Structure 1
Amino acid sequence: MAPLKIVFAIKAMRLPGGGAERVLAVVTAELARRGHDVTLISRDPPGTTDYHRTNVSRIRMGSRHLESASRAMDMLRWVPALRRLIKSLQPDVAVGFMHSTYLPMGLALRGTGIPMVASEHTVYEHYSSRRVERLLLQTAPALVDVITVVSQQARDSFPSGLRRRMVVVSNPVSSKSHAASERGKFGRRLVVAIGRLDHAKDHACLIAAFASIADAHPAWDLAIAGEGECRQALEAQISDLGLGQRVRLLGAVSDVDGLLSEADVFAMASRYESFGLATAEALMHSIPAIGFADCPGTNELIVDRHNGLLVDPRPDRVANLADALLLLFKNDALRVNLGANGPNSIAQYDVGSVVDRWEEILRAALKTPQLKVSA
C-alpha cells in the first residue's frame, strides 16, 4: 500500500510530560521507518530540543501561553495558525494527541476535508474536577472522525456519546530487558515508581508504606521519577519521616530504561491509570510490579502472583501496600520468578503490533470519515 502523509500534533515535546509524549515519539518514529511521511507539530518555542526525541520532520510553532495551553481561551488562540499550517502541509490524515491539542485541531480542520483522529490518553475520571474541559470534551464527536483510547477499560469509562466514536489502540512498549541477576550489584536494593507527582498517582501512599517497613529493611531504598504539583508536599512527608537518605524524588527522567535497569521492584500506588505505560515498561524489564487491584490500567497489566502483586485497597491502602512490598523484600525467589514472567505477559504491546493497529486506523480514516473500525 502507498505510504501516507501524516501530521501529528501535541502541545509540547520539550517538557518532561508523561507517557503520551513517549508514545508519540515511538509511534511516529516507527511510522517514518515504515516509509510514511510524518510531520510532528507542537507549540514548543523554535530552536528548543525535544525531551523525547523522534526522527521525523518537526515544526515548533511557539506559544507565549504554553504552560496553560489546556485552558479554553489558549486552545482557541491556536486554531487559525494551526489551520493555515496544516492546510499548507496537505496531509492525508491528521492526528491530535490529548484534548489540549485534538479539540483545537478539530476546530482548525473543520471544512478542510482532512480526516482527523483524536488520541486520548486518560480516563474519564481525569475530567471529574475539570468542569470546563469536561464540557469541551463533549464537542469531540462533532469535530473528529475517530478517538483512540489506550485500553478497553479507558473506553468503558467515557459516556456513551463519546464511547461510540472510540477505538482501542494500546500503548507500545519497547525496552531492553535486564536480567534480575544484574540488579543490586552495588549492595543496595531499589523500589522504583515512575509517574507525575500528582494526587492520582498517590505517591504519598507509597512513601508511607515504605516508611513503615524501612527500618527493618535497611538495604532497600525508594526512588520516584516524575514532576508535578505535589513535589513540595512529598518532600515535606519524606523529611518528616526522616527518610531523606532512603527516598529520592528524581524529577523528570529521560532515560527510563536506565532507571529500570537498577530496579528490583516496581510499585505504583495510582488510583487510576489509562494504560500504565511505566508499569508495562517495568514488566518488560523483568521487574515484578505492585499496584492496587481497583486501579484501572494497572489491573489489566499485573496478573496477581504471575508477574507481580495486586493489592486490595481495603481496609487500609498503606498497610496492605506495605505488606506487598515486604513480601518481595523478604523473598528473593518469588521476586525473580514474578519478574521472569513479565516480558511474555505484555508481548501483545510490542511496537510492531501497536503500529500495525495505528496504520489500520489511519487508513480507515482516510477512506471513510467517521470510520467504521473495530473498537
Structure 2
Amino acid sequence: MKLLLANLSDMVDDTGGLAKVHCSFANEMKQRGHDVAMVFCDDKIGKPFFPVDDGVELYNLQHYEDMDILFPKCLKVKREIIRAFSTQRARAVNNEFVEEYLLKSANSILHKFRPDIIISFQPAASKLFLCDLETKIPVITMNHGTTEDIFHIYPQAEIPALRKSAACQVLLPIFAEPIKKRFPKMKIAVIGNVVPQYEEEAELACAKEQYKIIFIGRLVKKIKRPHLLIEAFSKLADAFPHWIVEIWGYGSKKSYQWFLETTIRRKGLSERIFLKGTTHDVASVLQKGDLFVFPSAFEGFGLTLAEAMSMGLPPLGCKSCVAVNELIQDGVNGLLAEDSVDSLAQSMRMLMENQDLRVRLGKAARASMRKYRASVIWAAWEELLDECVNGKGGDNAHRDF
C-alpha cells in the first residue's frame, strides 16, 4: 500500500509529540512493507528532528522542486493581529497561505507519488486534499487534541473536510463523542499513540544521595507550563535538600525561556533546577528520575507522560487536563492535583516524602501503559487502513483500540 502522511506544520527543528508521531508512523509503516511519503510545511530546509528511514520519501511543500516559498511576513503580522481577537480566525490565515502558495506543490506530489490513502495529521491537511484539491483518494483525519476544539477553535472551512474523510482517528475514547454527535455515520477509530515498553525501569526502591523530578515537553507557557513546576518546587526545596529538578525540552519563544531562567535565579535555585535542552535519549533521562511532574493545561495524549509511566516513574498531573486525567488514575497509577501551584506542591510533597508510595504508583503506571504497546497499536492501524482502502466496515463503524 502507498501511504502519504500529511502534516502541515514544521518538522525540521520540531521536537514536539506530533512531529515524533509523524516520524515514528512513517518508519513503522515502511518497515511493514508499505511505500511511505511524508509531506510537511517548514520555512527551514532540512530533515525532521526525529530520525526517518532512508526509504521514506520527504516532501517539504515550501521547498519543493524549484520552488522556495517562505510564509510571508504580511500574513504573519495579520495572523498575530487577528489572534488577539479570535484564535479561530487567526488559524484561518494559515489556510490562506496554503491556498495561495502550496496547492501546486501538493497537487504535483499527489500525481508523482500516487498514494492509495492519505493519513492527515490535522483537519487543515485534510482540507488541502479533500476540499482544495478535491481528491477522491481516501483520507483518514487524525486528531491529536481535544476534538471539541475542532468545532470552536479550528476554522469553519476545515469542517467539510472532516465530513468527507473516510475515517477519523482519535487518541482516547473521550475524544470520539464530539465527532460522533455531529457526524453520526462517521467511521471513528480510537487508536492511542505507541508507548515504548522499556526493558529497563526507573530505580525507585533504593536509597540515593540525590533524587530527581523530571519534566519533558515543549517549553510553552500556556500549554505545558513548566513554570508551575518551578514555583511548586520552590515551596519544597528547603524541606527536601536532596531533590533536584530537570526540565527537558525546547521552546520557540526566547522570552519564555528567559522567564524560566529568571524565575529560577530569583528563587535562588540555580543549583537545584536545571534547564537541560533537548535529548534524543529520553529513556536514559527517565530511568534516572524518581518522579515525573507534568503540569499541562491541554494535551491530546501526553506522549512524554506516557513514556515516563512506561518507565515506571510515578506521575503527577493536573486533574483538569482531559488527556492527562485519562492516563493517570488518581491514587492508582499516579496523582492528580488541582490546577494551582499550592495543590501541585502538596501532591509533590506526598510523593517526595513517601518512597513506598512512589514505588507502588510507579509499578502501576508501568503496567497501565501495556495497552499502548506497538503490536496492539500498529495492528489497529493496519486494520483501519485496510477498511478505508478496500471499503470494509460499515458507515457507522466505531472501534476502540
Q: 1:191 aligns with which of 213, 235, 240?
A: 213
* Counterpart residue number, 2:95: 72
Is the Cα–Cα contact under 8 Å of residues 117 and 147 in structure 1 kept in the other structure? Answer: yes
Q: Structure 1 length normalisation: TM-score?
A: 0.87
1:105 counterpart = 2:126: no
What amino acid maps onto 1:287 in structure 2? L
| More moved, 101-110 vs 300-309 | 101-110
Q: 1:339 — aligned with what?
A: 362
Cα contact 1:190–1:220 (8 A) shared by 2: yes
Shift of 1:81: 1.2
Which residue is 2:177 aligned to?
A: 156
User: In the alignment, what sits opposite 1:266?
Assistant: 292
Equivalence for 2:4:
7
**Partners of 2:275 and 2:127 in 1: CA distance:** 34
Contact 1:173 1:281 in 2 (8 A): yes
Q: Which residue of 2 aligns with 1:147?
A: 168
- Contact map agreement 1:79 1:107 (CA 8 A) in 2: no
Q: CA RMSD in A?
A: 2.9
Q: CA deviation at 1:48?
A: 1.8
- C-alpha distance after superposition, 1:176-208 (max 9, x if no partner): 243333798983211111222221222222221
Report deviation, 1:91. 1.4
Letter in 2 for 1:285: M
CA distance in 2: counterparts of 1:251 and 1:157, whole angstroms: 37
**Amino acid paired to 1:359:** E
Could you tell me whether the CA contact under 8 Å between 1:75 and 1:100 is conserved in 2? no
Q: Which amino acid aligns with 2:167?
A: V
SS state of the match for residue 203, structure 2? helix
CA contact (8 A) 1:13 1:50 kept: yes
Aligned-partner SS, 2:270: coil
* Distance (Å, rounded) in 1 between the aligned partners of 2:295 and 2:98: 32
Match of 1:40 in 2: 38
Instruction: For 1:344 and 1:95, locate their aligned partners in 2 and report how far apart those are by CA, in whole Å.
Output: 30
Q: Which residue of 2 aligns with 1:321?
A: 344
What is the identity, as a one-letter code, of the residue corresponding to 1:255? D
Pairing 1:330–2:353 present: yes
- SS of residue matched to 1:341: helix
Q: Is the 8 A contact 1:118 1:144 kept in 2?
A: yes
Counterparts of 1:211 and 1:295, CA distance in 2: 23
Tell me, yes or no, if the aligned pair for 1:364 and 1:372 is still in contact at 8 Å. Answer: no
The equivalent residue for 2:320 is: 294
1:25 aligns with 2:23: yes
Q: Aligned residue for 2:83?
A: none
How many Å apart are 1:261 and its aligned residue?
1.7
Instruction: Please give the secondary structure, in 1, of the residue aligned with 2:330.
Output: coil
Measured after TM superposition, the shift of residue 311 of structure 1 is: 1.8
Residue 95 of structure 1 and its aligned partner are, at CA, apart by 1.0
Quick one: distance in 2 between partners of 1:152 and 1:182? Answer: 32
CA shift for structure 1 position 163: 7.6
Q: Report what 2:270 is aligned to.
A: 244
The 3 A distance-change label for structure 1 pair 366 and 177 is same
Tell me by how many angstroms 1:214 deviates.
0.9
Q: Any conservation in 1 of the 2:224–2:294 contact (CA below 8 Å)?
A: yes
Is 1:374 aligned to 2:371, yes or no? Answer: no
Could you tell me which residue of structure 1 aligns to residue 203 of structure 2?
181
Partner AA of 2:52 in structure 1 = T
Letter in 2 for 1:65: L
Structure 2 CA distance for partners of 1:288 and 1:182, relative to 1, 3 Å: closer
Letter paired with 1:136: A
Structure 1 residues 332, 46: closer, same or farther in 2, change over 3 A? closer
- How many residues are aligned here? 366
Counterparts in 2 of 1:347 and 1:259: CA distance versus 1, 3 Å: same
Q: Which residue matches 1:90?
A: 114
Moved more, 231-240 or 174-183: 174-183
Q: How far apart are the structure 2 equivalents of 1:362 and 1:168?
A: 13
| Equivalent residue, structure 1, for 2:87 | none
Equivalent positions of 1:278-289 (< 5 A) are 278-289=304-315
- Deviation string 1:27-60 (CA, Å, 9 cap, x unpaired) is 2222222222222223357972321113241223
Offset from partner CA, 1:84-122 (integer Å, 9 cap, x none): 211221111111212453332333541x32111111211
Q: 1:172 to 1:329 in 2, by over 3 A?
A: same
**Is residue 14–residue 48 contact of structure 2 (8 Å, CA) maintained in 1?**
no
The answer to whether 1:202 aligns with 2:225 is: yes
Maintained 8 Å contact 1:273/1:296: yes
